[in-house]
Structure 1
Amino acid sequence: MQLQPPVPAQPPVPALEWCDDHLRILDQRSLPGALVWVECHDADDAAAAIADGVVQGAVSAGLVAAYGIALAARRIGRSADWAVDLQTDFERLAQACPASSHLLWVLGVLDDRLQRLRYQGQGVPDQLAQVAVNLHASDEESRRALGRLGVQVIRRHDRQPQKFLTLVSPHSDSHAGALDLVRAAQGAGLVEQLYLCADEASDACRLALWELDRDEVATALRGAAAAGQLMRSDNISWVVAGAHRIAANGDLISDIGTYSLAILAMHHGLRFMVVAPSAAFDLALESADELDPADGLLSPEGRLVMDVTPADLIDVIVTERGVVERPDESRIAELLSPRHLH
């Protein structure tokens, strides 16, 4: 097989576009049939976009919430006490998706900045808007770094186009990092085929297929039950997973079915890669043994939506800060050390 040249992707469609006095959001509900944008002019619009599914995924919802606070401050214009005047807007946005720890973290970042700015008068709206813009830019840079470092890992093992397998769950957006990696690998000419495993035609699966099609990734949709046979018969090189949380020792908490994929990958001698932002590490959780099943593994209805993959089944974790081969507590601590540079 000849080494393929990099594949030019279609120009990206911005999911979020900040226009200073409003926010434009690509309506995820309309895809792939049509490109429809929804405009947000205040915190109420932003909260509705999150709650109604116009925007999907924890990171995107958090960014919309950040811009929602900036828009609320723009509408107020002047205030003697910004924290008091914006309190209702913070509460409304938090209630739009109360189960999202990332959205609540983003609102915490805005609130921390606001506490330092609350009596500064007219400059507060501009400064809150800049915080939201900075969070947005940081997320985009993080995704580029994840892809770049993941491609380096893939090339170290094989410079030829390869076959990948990943899982998409309707219950979370943990797979986002895995898809970012595959699209980056496609741009580097390293993807022969991606098998996308999903058990139902969910919105998450539909959006993933649309994104991959735009980047011309050869993608085949398969049921999760077919993963073992694909690994046995189709010369797959990499199983790629995202993360909901990662314990200090490298144990992975991710979409239900990830543990099964890791076991199958080990049995068939395939490499298992986790792709996730460094924020996914929960150093307060020494190992997944400490995890209460009710703490993130179960849906509000009591359905199991997450599982645990022990660290010894993981070949490599790729983050925007660097790469951890054969993850364990000491290697992860080194990666997350302030002294670490990738």
Structure 2
Amino acid sequence: MTQQAPTLQAIKYERGSLQVLDQLRLPFETVYKDVPNSQQGHHVIQTMKVRGAPAIAIVAALSLAVDLHSSFSASPASFPDATSVSTFITTKLTYLKTSRPTAVNLFEAAGRLSSIVAAAATSSPPATAESVVNAYLSAAEAMLDRDIEDNKNIGRHGAEFILRHNPHGGDMVQVLTHCNTGSLATAGWGTALGIIRDLHTHNKLSHAFCTETRPYNQGSRLTAYELVYEQIPATLVCDSMASALLKTKKISAIIVGADRVARNGDTANKIGTYQLAITAKFHGVPFVVAAPSTSIDLQILTGDDIPIEERNGVEVVQNRGRLMGSAGGDGREGGDVPMGTVHVAAPGIGVWNPAFDVTPAHLISAVVTERGVCVKKAGQNVFDLKSFLA
């Protein structure tokens, strides 16, 4: 018997309209933000109102879809031919790629959409402005449905792998996850959190633990929100508690997502992932990376070549949350919830704030994609992802 739970919808789209759930307002306010053009798409990605590699790519593509649809509908004369539409799209995609540098999904999507547009613009019979517009809209919109289907396949493959490799035996598991990899990070369902959802749906999940994921607290703000929303049994732990957790509890696997995976399996993910892989190795717990194949960058041989975004140090020394003990601080939804920012570090201290780290392939047990599970060949410390994807 399977369990059914409500699924969070973080991206709302219909042709000409895009809304995204503002993740900076979570978990206390559920507010959707209109994204009417690619400029706003760039803004919500860069300011982390939207985050998660698959979601970034989809929101970028759909923000341009809304921009293109509105611009063409309002002033078709501005697009006299197929070439003008193609130039508009490629210029906007180039701009959108500057929003976040580490997540490869955005670059993969931009490249794929550019190729589709180029082919449409040079098709026979002669292309028109309208035919190129429709080619882009159809391709961008298809990303939404494909991502959800891919995530469910990742969930199924990952759940089966973890159950087969449970170091504690039995048919029930406890798992630990890091950062946010659910509906808020994808079009829906999720990657690492999608595996947890699949385990829970099929009554194989005893308990899920999630880290708070400092400094931006995507675990405590977002993953915890999704787990509570979907009624999955879960507990929040500080990042520094992971080793004690693995020593104390029977954790069957650590499951994380990925912003970019190199050809050899080295994986860039949210800062703190690397140390989780080290403690997993020490405690003999499988360390599983869950990612769509679009997160695998075969052009990058190792993790040494993955660019790592460094963010403003203010994220480390300041925290934003609900103010307790004041009027309205009783959990009411909407604008009545009092929010505030507090400074938690000694003034003048220097801060280093890399957003991601790279986990070496030799610490990773498996890379789970929508196509199946990739493991290392006997005696190898790295993955052959090129052959796997071929």
Unaligned runs of 5+ in 1: 338-342
1:243 aligned counterpart, secondary structure: coil
Counterpart in the other structure of 2:223: 208
Could you tell me how far 1:95 is from its partner in structure 2? 4.4
Shift of 1:203: 4.9
Name the amino acid aligned to 1:6: T
User: What aligned pairs does 1:15-164 form with structure 2 within 5 A after superposition?
Assistant: 15-74=10-69, 75-77=71-73, 78=76, 79=79, 80=81, 81-86=84-89, 89-97=92-100, 100-118=103-121, 119-157=127-165, 158=169, 160-164=171-175
Alignment-derived partner of residue 269 in structure 1: 284
Normalised TM-score (structure 1)? 0.82
The residue aligned with 2:208 is 194
Q: Scaled by the length of structure 2, what TM-score is found?
A: 0.73
Which secondary structure state, in structure 2, belongs to the residue aligned with residue 296 of structure 1?
coil
Q: Which moved more, 1:80-89 or 1:215-224?
A: 80-89
Partner Cα distance (2:300, 2:48) in 1: 31
SS at match of 2:222: helix
Secondary structure at 1:111 match in 2: helix
Higher relative contact order (CA 8 A, sep 6+): 2
Gap regions ≥5 residues in structure 2: 122-126, 313-351
The two structures, once aligned, show a CA RMSD in angstroms of 2.9
Aligned to 1:180: 194
Distance in 2, Cα, partners of 1:24 & 1:199: 26
C-alpha distance 107-267 of structure 1, shift in aligned 2 (>3 A): closer
* Structure 2 letter corresponding to 1:310: P
- Matched residues, number: 325
Out of 183-192 and 68-77, give the one that drifted further.
68-77
For 1:167, the aligned partner's letter is H
Report the CA distance between 1:209 and its aligned residue. Answer: 1.0
Matched letter for residue 137 of structure 1? D
Q: Write out per-residue CA displacement over residues 94-129 of structure 1, whole angstroms, 9 at most, x where no aligned residue.
A: 444466543343233332222233342323322211
CA–CA separation in structure 1 for the residues paired with 2:48 and 2:299: 32
1:208-234 Cα deviation digits (max 9, x unpaired): 111111222222111222111111111
Name the CA shift for 1:309/1:39 in 2 (closer, same or farther; >3 Å).
closer
Cα distance in 1 between the residues matched to 2:88 and 2:37 = 14
Deviation for aligned residue 1:90:
3.8
Q: Which region of structure 1 is more displaced relative to structure 2, 62-71 or 302-311?
A: 302-311
Match of 2:340 in 1: none
- Of 359, 367, 371, 1:321 maps to 371
Cα gap change, 1:226 to 1:111, in 2 (>3 Å): same
Structure 1 SS opposite 2:129: coil
Cα distance in 1 for partners of 2:197, 2:105 equals 24
Paired-residue identity, %: 26
Distance, in Å, in 1 between the alignment partners of 2:358 and 2:89 is 39
